[in-house]
Amino acid sequence: MRILRNYILKEFFSAFFLSLFILTFVMIMGNMIKLADLIISKGISLFSAGKLFFYMIPFLFSFILPVSTLTAVLLSIGRLSGDNELIAIRSSGISLFKILSPIIIVGLTMSLFAVILNNEIIPVSHHKSRETLVEIGSKNPLAALEAGTFITAFEKFVIFIYRIDGNKFSNIRIYEPQGPDKPPRTIIAKKGEFIVLPEKQLLKLKLIDGTSDEINPSDPENFYKLNFKTYFMNIDFKKQTMKEVKKKAKDMTLAELRREIDMFKTTGINTAPLLTEIYKRSTLAFSCVIFIILGAPFAMITRRREKSLNFGFAFLIMAFYYLLLIGFETISSEGQMNPVLAMNMPNIIFGILGSGMLFKTCLS
């Protein structure tokens, strides 16, 4: 039995480390391209890019670990089933439950490690990465500019740029909020360029062919349109160096989230979003063992030995899982369902489905 157990574990870990290597390589390369763009286009230092890369790795593993576990089960059990080795084992009078129990124990161990990863390591690295981005933005504000998204890194202004090419851009909208229930001052330009003045900690925008809302002196509540061919405006990024990066829920460890919840309870503030974050982390952690329970009978049924197909099945299962997780996360955050039940529903659904398939497959 010991020889058989080691043989099964060897198959599983071979597939697991193969999946881990492939997924890590793919996800790291995808992020390396973004970092290379920051270095080449935005001019950030290699040291800052290296820090961002280092802080990014734990977050990537929160997704890589469950996917690798599921893929490893599909590859290893699928190979044994496809070669009729499982039939031979059962013919020897050995229960399939005994064969799978070592893998389930490994999955449980991985889940316990993922609990520590999700609750203690990832929040710290996530907060450090945000601090690094603010630090980069204080030295080089161009790094904070991204096309196709609202940029709120600068005080007083909200900027939206449709296209950025180096220090030049096209189709920019700059909003300057005037307070509650008041329309924002809006500046629109077809194109322009960024000019950074680091010694003055100013970002100068040269705007070409656009319009600007200017305050009407006789009626300060209203604006009038001003057309321009060339317009210069300065954005002060000096205060970014003084800005403390406050922790969001994703940046907090489990103990910090508990303290935040206790504080909000005394003031009557709804703590559903914070509870959702706590139980989301545990759900993702224990998805490792859930995927083993689901993946093993699925591999026995499909009997697939092809690695590409098993990778495809793994991503299909993961897609359904994360869609469920996102849906229940929204419901939980809005207080429409108890966070404990809502965030555990994906694992409950997949666990029941996997257990049913497992019992049916092992007893048939």
**Using 50, 70 and 90 to split pLDDT, how confident is the model at 241?**
very low
**Using 50, 70 and 90 to split pLDDT, how confident is the model at 242?**
very low
| Residue 79 pLDDT > 50 | yes
**Looking at the structure, do residues 185 and 40 belong to the same domain, yes or no?**
no
Domain assignment of residue 242, yes or no = no
The DSSP code for 144 is G
Distance, CA of 60 to CA of 35 (rounded, Å): 15
Q: What is the CA radius of gyration of the chain?
A: 27
Q: Nearest to residue 277, comparing CAs of 293, 306, 253, 297?
A: 253
**Using 50, 70 and 90 to split pLDDT, how confident is the model at 106?**
very high
**Looking at the structure, do residues 130 and 84 belong to the same domain, yes or no?**
yes
Rounded to an integer, the average pLDDT of 168-185 is 79
Domain assignment of residue 106, yes or no = yes
**Looking at the structure, do residues 93 and 28 belong to the same domain, yes or no?**
yes
CA separation, residue 107 to residues 17, 114, 293, 311 (Å): 14, 10, 9, 18
Higher pLDDT, 263 or 320: 320
Domain assignment of residue 241, yes or no = no
Domain assignment of residue 143, yes or no = no
Domain assignment of residue 293, yes or no = yes
| Residue 221: Cβ within 10 Å count | 9
Domain assignment of residue 144, yes or no = no
| Residue 293 pLDDT > 60 | yes
The DSSP code for 121 is I
| Residue 235 pLDDT > 80 | no
The tokens for 15 are: 């597939």
Residue with tokens 């996997």: 354
Residues 6+ away with beta carbon under 8 Å from 166: 41
**Looking at the structure, do residues 215 and 292 belong to the same domain, yes or no?**
no
Higher pLDDT, 238 or 261: 261
Q: What angle do the packed helices 122-139 and 46-82 form, to 10 degrees?
A: 150
Let me know if 19 is exposed, middle or buried by CB neighbors in 10 A (0-12, 13-18, 19+).
buried
Distance, CA of 257 to CA of 7 (rounded, Å): 43
Count Cα neighbours of 75 within 13 Å in the Cβ-side half-sphere: 23
Domain assignment of residue 149, yes or no = no
**Looking at the structure, do residues 123 and 14 belong to the same domain, yes or no?**
yes
Domain assignment of residue 11, yes or no = yes
| Residue 240 pLDDT > 60 | no
The pLDDT score that the predictor gives to residue 350 is: 94
Rounded to an integer, the average pLDDT of 274-294 is 92
Higher pLDDT, 144 or 65: 65
Residues 6+ away with beta carbon under 8 Å from 151: 144, 145, 158, 159, 160, 161
| Residue 234 pLDDT > 90 | no
SS3 of residue 147 by DSSP = coil
Find the range with the poorest average confidence among 31-40, 63-72, 154-163.
31-40
The domain boundary residue, chosen from 204, 236, 268? 236
Rounded to an integer, the average pLDDT of 188-216 is 80
The domain boundary residue, chosen from 236, 260, 282? 236
**Looking at the structure, do residues 128 and 275 belong to the same domain, yes or no?**
yes
Higher pLDDT, 200 or 2: 2
Distance, CA of 130 to CA of 271 (rounded, Å): 24
The DSSP code for 142 is G
The tokens for 272 are: 């559903």
The pLDDT score that the predictor gives to residue 312 is: 76
Q: Kindly report the average pLDDT of the chain as a whole number.
A: 81
The pLDDT score that the predictor gives to residue 281 is: 93
**Looking at the structure, do residues 172 and 100 belong to the same domain, yes or no?**
no
The pLDDT score that the predictor gives to residue 199 is: 63
- Phi/psi for 75 (5° steps) reads -70, -45
Any idea of the CA torsion for 260, 263, 266, 270, to the nearest 10 degrees?
A: -20
Higher pLDDT, 240 or 179: 179
Query: Within the chain, where are the H helices?
Result: 2-40, 46-82, 85-91, 96-116, 122-139, 254-267, 272-302, 307-333, 339-363
The pLDDT score that the predictor gives to residue 280 is: 92
Rounded to an integer, the average pLDDT of 208-217 is 78
Q: Is the pTM of this model over 0.75?
A: no
**Looking at the structure, do residues 188 and 70 belong to the same domain, yes or no?**
no
The pLDDT score that the predictor gives to residue 139 is: 64
**Looking at the structure, do residues 60 and 168 belong to the same domain, yes or no?**
no
| Residue 231 pLDDT > 50 | yes
Higher pLDDT, 111 or 146: 111
| Residue 70: Cβ within 10 Å count | 30
Structurally, the chain folds into a number of domains equal to 2
Q: Which residues of 251-289 are buried (b: 16+ CB within 10 A; e: fewer)?
A: bbbbeebeebeeeeeeeeeebbbbbbbbbbbbbbbbbbb
Rounded to an integer, the average pLDDT of 228-255 is 74
The domain boundary residue, chosen from 187, 205, 236? 236
**Using 50, 70 and 90 to split pLDDT, how confident is the model at 206?**
confident
Domain range for residue 232? Answer: 154-236
**Looking at the structure, do residues 57 and 122 belong to the same domain, yes or no?**
yes
**Looking at the structure, do residues 120 and 217 belong to the same domain, yes or no?**
no
**Looking at the structure, do residues 227 and 278 belong to the same domain, yes or no?**
no
Express as a percent the part of the chain with pLDDT over 70: 83
